[in-house]
Amino acid sequence: MEYRNLGNSGLKVSELCLGTMQFGWTADESHSNEILSEAFENGINFIDTADVYSRWADGNPGGVAERIIGEWLQQSGHDRTKIILATKVRGEMGDAPNDQGLSRAHIMTEVENSLRRLKTDYIDLYQTHWFDESTPIEETLSALNDLIQQGKVRYIGCSNYPAWRLVQALWYADRRNFTSFVCLQPHYSLVHRREFESELADVCRTYGIGVIPYSPLGGGFLTGKYKEDGPVVDSKRAKGVQRHYSKRNWQLLSKMEDIGAESGGKSISQVALAWLLSDPIITSPIIGPRTLEQLKDNFGAVGFRLSDEEKQMLDRASDPKQP
Ligand X SMILES: NC(=O)c1ccc[n+]([C@@H]2O[C@H](COP(=O)([O-])OP(=O)(O)OC[C@H]3O[C@@H](n4cnc5c(N)ncnc54)[C@H](OP(=O)(O)O)[C@@H]3O)[C@@H](O)[C@H]2O)c1
Told to check if 14 binds ligand X by CB under 6 A, we report no
Q: Which span sits near ligand X by CB under 6 A: 37-45, 190-198, 199-207, 234-242?
A: 234-242
- Round to whole Å and give the CA distance between 215 and 19: 9
Instruction: For residue 73, give every residue at least 6 positions away whose Cβ sits within 8 Å of its Cβ, in sequence order, or none.
Output: 80, 83, 118, 119, 120
Q: Which span sits near ligand X by CB under 6 A: 33-41, 74-82, 131-139, 281-289?
A: 281-289
Contact flags string 117-146 toward ligand X, x per CB under 6 A = ------------x-----------------
CA distances from 136 to 104, 139, 185, 289 (A): 10, 5, 21, 36
- Round to whole Å and give the CA distance between 19 and 23: 9
Tell which positions 186-215 bind ligand X, by CB under 6 A.
214-215
Told to check if 260 binds ligand X by CB under 6 A, we report no
Whether residue 47 contacts residue 17, with contact meaning beta carbons closer than 8 Å, is answered with: yes
- Round to whole Å and give the CA distance between 288 and 216: 9
Catalytic status, residue 53: yes
Q: Which span sits near ligand X by CB under 6 A: 14-22, 72-80, 173-181, 307-315?
A: 14-22
Give the active site residue among 3, 53, 207, 245: 53
Told to check if 101 binds ligand X by CB under 6 A, we report no
Q: Which secondary structure element, helix H or strand E, spans residue 87, and what is its range?
A: strand 84-89
Tell which positions 298-317 bind ligand X, by CB under 6 A.
298
Choosing from 67, 192, 266, 290, the residue that interacts with ligand X (CB under 6 A) is 290
- Round to whole Å and give the CA distance between 90 and 191: 26
Strands 12-14 and 3-5: antiparallel
- 123 φ/ψ angles, rounded to the nearest 5 degrees: -110, 130
Contact flags string 142-181 toward ligand X, x per CB under 6 A = -----------------xx---------------------
Told to check if 32 binds ligand X by CB under 6 A, we report no
Q: Which span sits near ligand X by CB under 6 A: 195-203, 254-262, 276-284, 291-299?
A: 291-299
Distance of CA 323 to the CA centre of its chain: 27
Residues that bind ligand X (CB under 6 A): 19-22, 26, 48, 129, 159-160, 185, 214-220, 223, 225, 235-237, 269, 286-290, 294, 297-298
Residues belonging to the active site = 53
